[in-house]
Structure 1
């Protein structure tokens, strides 16, 4: 298979056109460790200054395959019910490079004696770059100008209900729908809304072992319902091991280690369960979380989400 053909196929798979609908937003297998990417109401919920970095290399072995990096900082405002977050996401796919900068603001109230309810809004801007020189243009008479930092603003919102052991979330991180690209039909993309629903609960199996199942559902117009199920075990508040399954797509395994009270590092590997598995060697994801603890925080035990 020629390199240019691979780039074209991957480019089409990651965008929505008139006849093709697919996931457009950055995809991470271990979303549960950095939920502010999909839900702005999560920002500040850990009651610490949290810095989170993540990198995902998808479909290794296929030229032009997706590579996504993110950096997030979020924290509560001291003596306040407000929280904030700032995130940067760089999503590369073949000829396309999409960079997004977002600012989150959350407001949290005591729902009852055990639960808190947070409301969040996200304001973001994306900068799309497309280098058509990396593609094969069969009809060069039409001409195609490269895209350079095509800017599109957006807004999003979410709700996050949580306690020390349970959480529920619903969100739409990017609400505005619009066309992106050049005027030529084949170079035009339409961004659509993604609706997310999340759930997780932590079971104390013993004094040393915690078990956390999680659920993510994703609804995209014109695409099948996406469901992710995961199960993680935490041993002695230090070592994490788990697995997840994305229906009709992939399976993944995770390991993580709490190096110190401030540092947590993790790695996951995904394997496709579709025919695409014949053309790649899986996906790799690494992440690092650093926290500066707040002595005024409400939750005194370490959070597993």
Structure 2
């Protein structure tokens, strides 16, 4: 059996060594304030970890009031198989930014192994693969580049391939992933042109504290790095009351501060909302960012699960 202490130390060392090797440029993947509910989109190792059939839908409209600002729709569906070691899932993300629309469709697979003898610490290996499409309509907006090539709309389809590790117990989790290691094309809103995908890295983690029989709090973080760009750090603190009401705050480094609220409407249906207030000079030109998410879970008949806060 793997030594728990030495394994965790080695994993953390590898993760931070990879993250510190990143350079500086622009972020290319969509971002979410509800990242703690949308884990499978950044880490394939999370596939099946809700222990039930779980479907999550999310809509984000960013920087309201700015023409061409990002609008993102995400949908994820995943479940463990009967042996509970294998998880399968589907993830779809559609991102509209200025004249460009990007859509990713990925199938996810995970395999989970115990790390210690008691089985309360597990490591999940995940892989994902699919397609990414980029469609542009240069008639939307004004562009700095006078090149005739940008007078013709672009339609590109590229394969995607990613992988992730997800270490978890009943109280905490730590994951490291690279959602796409292949070369694809993205729209660069800063240069207003088409740019090549850079390798993204994600480090995600969280811990659940039981303050009382009816109150839990969960600090969580998400570090995002891309070759040629500074690290982006999201940190959050959410509280769960009586397994029904969730309230939280979040901060995205040098970008925004957010408030989150959610409610467990039924045993299987959860709804959440967040509002981001921009903390940069861009705050003068927009009225914030709104995000709505729904999660539906189909409980297995005859199986009682311990309440999960991640």
Q: Shorter-chain TM-score: what band?
A: 0.7 to 0.9
- Give 1:138 deviation, angstroms: 7.0
Aligned to 1:43: 47
Contact 1:47–1:294 (CA under 8 A) maintained in structure 2: no
Contact 2:132–2:184 (CA under 8 A) maintained in structure 1: no
Residues 1:301 and 2:306 aligned together: yes
- Which of these residues, 105, 109, 113, is aligned with residue 105 of structure 1? 109
Give the Cα separation in 2 of the matches to 1:295 and 1:45.
18
- Give 1:141 deviation, angstroms: 7.4
Distance 1:201 1:140, change over 3 A: closer
Contact 1:214–1:230 (CA under 8 A) maintained in structure 2: yes
Give the Cα separation in 2 of the matches to 1:139 and 1:230.
39
Say how many residue pairs are matched: 281
**Residue 70 of structure 1 aligns to a residue in which SS?**
strand
- Which of these residues, 87, 95, 98, is aligned with residue 83 of structure 1? 87
Distance 1:293 1:274, change over 3 A: same
**Residue 276 of structure 1 aligns to a residue in which SS?**
helix
Q: Which moved more, 1:50-59 or 1:216-225?
A: 216-225
For each residue in 1:126-179, what CA deviation from the matched residue of structure 2 results, as whole angstroms up to 9, or x when unmatched? 11000011133678673521013x101110000001111110100000111345
- Give 1:48 deviation, angstroms: 0.3
**Residue 40 of structure 2 aligns to a residue in which SS?**
helix
- Which of these residues, 238, 243, 267, is aligned with residue 237 of structure 1? 243
For each residue in 1:10-51, what CA deviation from the matched residue of structure 2 results, as whole angstroms up to 9, or x when unmatched? xxxxxxxxxx93111111011111200000010101110001
- Give 1:300 deviation, angstroms: 2.7
**Residue 302 of structure 1 aligns to a residue in which SS?**
coil
- Which of these residues, 123, 126, 134, is aligned with residue 128 of structure 1? 134
Q: Which moved more, 1:127-136 or 1:228-237?
A: 127-136
Contact 2:102–2:133 (CA under 8 A) maintained in structure 1: yes
Give the Cα separation in 2 of the matches to 1:203 and 1:141.
56
Distance 1:137 1:71, change over 3 A: closer
Give the Cα separation in 1 of the matches to 2:145 and 2:301.
64
Give the Cα separation in 1 of the matches to 2:168 and 2:145.
55
Give unmatched runs, 5+ long, in structure 2. 1-23
Distance 1:301 1:249, change over 3 A: same
Give the Cα separation in 2 of the matches to 1:229 and 1:138.
36
- Give 1:216 deviation, angstroms: 1.0
For each residue in 1:81-119, what CA deviation from the matched residue of structure 2 results, as whole angstroms up to 9, or x when unmatched? 110110111100110000110110000112222111100
Aligned to 1:146: 153
